[in-house]
Structure 1
Amino acid sequence: MTPLDPGIALILLAAGRSERFGGDKLVADYKGKPLWTWAATAAEKAGFQHLYIVMAPRNSIEPGTRWNRVVNAEAVRGMGTSIAAGVAAAQAHERVVIALADMPRVTASHLRTLAQASGPLFTRQSDGKAGCPAAFDRASFAQLRELDGYRGARILAGPDVNMVEPAAPDMLVDIDRRSELDAENAR
């Protein structure tokens, strides 16, 4: 795909503890490759020129040279700290797209849609709520850098929030438990 504007960065969150999974889920096998690589590949194919991956201090992920590693020393305190760390690292950009490393079916075209919009834009989840992946302009960066604990970026979603529909509902599969990974691999 055509490269995106260099002022737009992608932040891939990969610092979770995988407690419900019972082990390091991001390196678990998903259809022949480590789980995290599927979302990373979608980001690379989407045309982002600047890629950030937020990881915990002890992490077994080995991102390629295109990825800027952001170590979140506070990762055990929740996703909010990872969003804050990623946005702080990408603060020179005008827009960021935030994606999750445990969503293997996210598509490059969906990430591009988020990147090329303006203002906050969330993905409509199956329950109708705003969720990830999501994108934000510089005007939201200060609020995102203040996130802490388990509060994610959804707190920026007001009643009139803009959302984009996923091309297919199964694009939003989020692997949290080993049984979910097993079911996906059996498909």
Structure 2
Amino acid sequence: MNVLIKGAGDLATGIAYELFRRGHRIIMTELPVPLTVRRSVAMSRAVCEGSAVVEGMTGVLVTDIEEAQAVMDSGKIAVIVDEAADIRKEFCPDVLVDAILAKKNTGTSREDAPLVIAAGPGFTAGVDCHCVIETKRGHTLGCAIWEGSALPNTGVPGEVGGYSRERLIQASADGVMEQEAEIGDEVSAGQIVAVTGGKPVYAKMSGMIRGMLQSKAPVKKGMKIGDIDARLDRRYCVTISDKARCVGAGAVRAAEQYYGTYAVVVLAAGQGLRFGGGKLLADVEGRPLYRHLFDTLAELPDVWKVVVTGEKAIMEDAAKRGMAVVKNTQPERGSSRSMKLGLKACLDTLPNLRGVLFTVCDQPRLTAGTFVRLLRTAEQNPGRIVRASAGGRGGNPVVWDAAYAGELLAATGDRGGRPVMEKHAEEIILVEIEKEELHDIDRKADLTGEQ
């Protein structure tokens, strides 16, 4: 999807990160002089430096929609100085997220995009946006609100490391900000950490500077210009916060609930006759064969997964990992039965299902990156069949658009979805992966590489 995020601060960057991981194209807007405190983990830094990298995600400063499209085509995020977010008229986003955190609506309307999401208080779902994401720390942090508003701003900072108000660094006077301490520096209570309007600003507690406005930024007396973290861990200075991740995950859930989502079906009910039985429980490099796939899928925590199997050990392991389980007591009826059982579970559970990725348990070399690429390709090519391949030879996994559900549910025998694939060959998109990832364990000789 095309996503426009108003704001490029640390929380907006957390939202961008969660959306970017799922392959969406993102433009972020920012002020000419950003007022981001946690600059080291914010895309707003691109305004001053030309580019910014946060946890492997790169933002690049652009000046117009043509540059933005080129940046997004290269797999990066476009950042533009555009306080009014006028670029939305050319970009035509599927989703607009207001992540300015101004505690009030500064000009966002439900008419700005098919889905408008707002972060924090100052908005009412159903009035000036479609959905509000809760930003207040606590039990409801990250929840998507489709009717009503987020909890009101109390003016009291959330507790981090046992401290609340004390961790704030606030301007002592109107004027220009000058740093006396850098992000990552350890400071003591009473130490001068900045000068604003010619007056010193003192730390209220000891700890590590986690955030600080850049020098020369204009400030007002009492304005937040930095924060201190008592935990003294530099990782918190360079990684997206738990709060930002939670709010980002909430925005993703809202978008998927609105537009639909994808699921993964693990087919693990085969009899393994050519192997001699018990194939999926066979030891492969110190783990049961099926567990290689389970461990890989654990790297995709936000995708709903269902396992179709008749093996008790696999069912128990899947349930412990939070996967849904469908029992297939008749594997002799062919792979089509497992496919249909898994697909039906998806359709019954996910009302806005966009597509299903089917995978098998006997390809131990599959990587999480391959699953992400397949799902990303499917998201960007609705109505198509996306299939892994090596050297032009197709194989598993395969992502089916929900449009093929009816034909897949009508399949019989042991050919699974291959007849449907043959019928719609022109709709197949092949995604090249490493050849070894397609290697499957069919016979015991495959464990040793013998012919």
- TM-score of the pair, normalised by structure 1: 0.87
Deviations 1:141-179 (A, max 9, x none): 11122222111222232332211111x100111101111
2:388 pairs with 123, 128, 140, which one? 123
Corresponding residue of 2:436: 170
2:287 pairs with 33, 37, 48, which one? 33
Letter of the 1:25 partner, please give it: K
Q: Do the aligned partners of 2:304 and 2:323 also contact (CA within 8 Å) in 1?
A: yes
* Aligned-partner Cα distance in 1 for 2:280–2:274: 12
* Aligned-partner Cα distance in 1 for 2:302–2:445: 32
Instruction: Establish whether residue 100 from structure 1 lines up as the match of residue 380 from structure 2.
Output: no
* Aligned-partner Cα distance in 2 for 1:65–1:45: 12
* Aligned-partner Cα distance in 2 for 1:176–1:48: 30
Q: Do the aligned partners of 2:395 and 2:438 also contact (CA within 8 Å) in 1?
A: no
Corresponding residue of 1:68: 324
Deviations 1:98-156 (A, max 9, x none): 11111111111111111122321111255x44321000121011112222211122223
| 1:78 to partner: Cα distance | 1.1
Letter of the 1:42 partner, please give it: T
Letter of the 1:99 partner, please give it: T
Tell me the matched-pair count: 181
* Aligned-partner Cα distance in 1 for 2:400–2:425: 16
Corresponding residue of 1:111: 371
* Aligned-partner Cα distance in 2 for 1:95–1:24: 31
Structure 1 unmatched ranges of 5 or more: none
* Aligned-partner Cα distance in 1 for 2:404–2:339: 12
| 1:25 to partner: Cα distance | 0.9
Q: What root-mean-square deviation, in Å, do the aligned CA atoms of Structure 1 and Structure 2 show?
A: 2.1
| 1:48 to partner: Cα distance | 4.0
Letter of the 1:13 partner, please give it: L
2:344 pairs with 79, 84, 88, which one? 88
* Aligned-partner Cα distance in 2 for 1:109–1:101: 17
Greater Cα radius of gyration, structure 1 or 2: 2
* Aligned-partner Cα distance in 1 for 2:411–2:330: 12
Corresponding residue of 1:145: 409
| 1:60 to partner: Cα distance | 3.3
Please give the secondary structure, in 2, of the residue aligned with 1:112: helix
Q: Do the aligned partners of 2:272 and 2:279 also contact (CA within 8 Å) in 1?
A: yes
Structure 2 unmatched ranges of 5 or more: 1-16, 23-251
* Aligned-partner Cα distance in 1 for 2:416–2:340: 9
| 1:49 to partner: Cα distance | 2.7
Corresponding residue of 1:132: 396
Go from structure 1 to structure 2 and tell me whether the alpha carbon gap of 1:135 and 1:20 turns closer, same or farther (over 3 Å shift): same
1:18 pairs with 246, 256, 272, which one? 272
Q: Do the aligned partners of 2:275 and 2:443 also contact (CA within 8 Å) in 1?
A: yes
* Aligned-partner Cα distance in 2 for 1:114–1:72: 26
| 1:23 to partner: Cα distance | 2.1
Instruction: Establish whether residue 183 from structure 1 lines up as the match of residue 449 from structure 2.
Output: yes
* Aligned-partner Cα distance in 2 for 1:170–1:30: 15
- Return the structure number with greater relative CO, CA threshold 8 A, min gap 6: 1
Please give the secondary structure, in 2, of the residue aligned with 1:162: strand
Q: Do the aligned partners of 1:10 and 1:48 also contact (CA within 8 Å) in 2?
A: no
Q: Do the aligned partners of 1:87 and 1:96 also contact (CA within 8 Å) in 2?
A: yes
Please give the secondary structure, in 2, of the residue aligned with 1:90: helix
* Aligned-partner Cα distance in 2 for 1:125–1:175: 17
More strand by share: 2
- TM-score of the pair, normalised by structure 2: 0.38
| 1:47 to partner: Cα distance | 3.9
Letter of the 1:89 partner, please give it: A
Percent sequence identity over matched residues? 29
